[in-house]
Amino acid sequence: MNPLLMELWPYFLMVLVGYLPNEVWRVFGLVLARGLNEDSQVVVWSRAVATAILAGVIAKLILFSTGALAAIPLSVRVIAAVLGFLVFLGARRSVFAGVLAGEIALLAGGFLFSH
């Protein structure tokens, strides 16, 4: 392959298998949302579906981690997530406090128990 093409190849892939398959859902949502209002039942249902999908992504990232996070034991990841969430609830729903507590627990546990 010619060198310029080699250099542009990752950008081409980004558009082809990254941008387009990602953006299609946004455009689809825009087209379908015309004529709907905030309280319509489809919108309420859509919000519940979006929340559940996001929750699924969250659980998968914690339970079936990849890369550097996978080197930290599953039990440490789960306990750190639960601890972080409890601190979040205790600290009047402060995302910052919760994330910080979870990170400290993860790093401490990872330091002690990583293989």
Q: Judged by CB under 8 A, does residue 67 bind other proteins?
A: yes
Q: Judged by CB under 8 A, does residue 73 bind other proteins?
A: no
Q: Could you give the 3-state DSSP secondary structure of residue 78?
A: helix
Q: Which of residues 47-66 bind other proteins (CB under 8 A)?
A: 47-66
- Coarse DSSP helix, strand, coil percentages of the chain, rounded to the nearest 5 percent: 80, 0, 20
Closest CA to 88 of 103, 109, 68: 103
Angle at which helices 74-90 and 95-113 cross, to 10°? 150
Q: Judged by CB under 8 A, does residue 13 bind other proteins?
A: yes
In the bound complex, what is the minimum distance in angstroms from residue 2's beta carbon to other proteins? 18
Q: Are 104 and 87 in contact (CB under 8 A)?
A: no
One residue of 3, 42, 74, 79 binding other proteins per CB under 8 A: 42
Q: Judged by CB under 8 A, does residue 74 bind other proteins?
A: no
One residue of 1, 5, 6, 10 binding other proteins per CB under 8 A: 10
Q: How far apart are CA 99 and CA 62, in angstroms?
A: 13
One residue of 1, 2, 6, 93 binding other proteins per CB under 8 A: 93
Q: Which is nearer to other proteins, 75 or 114 (CB)?
A: 114
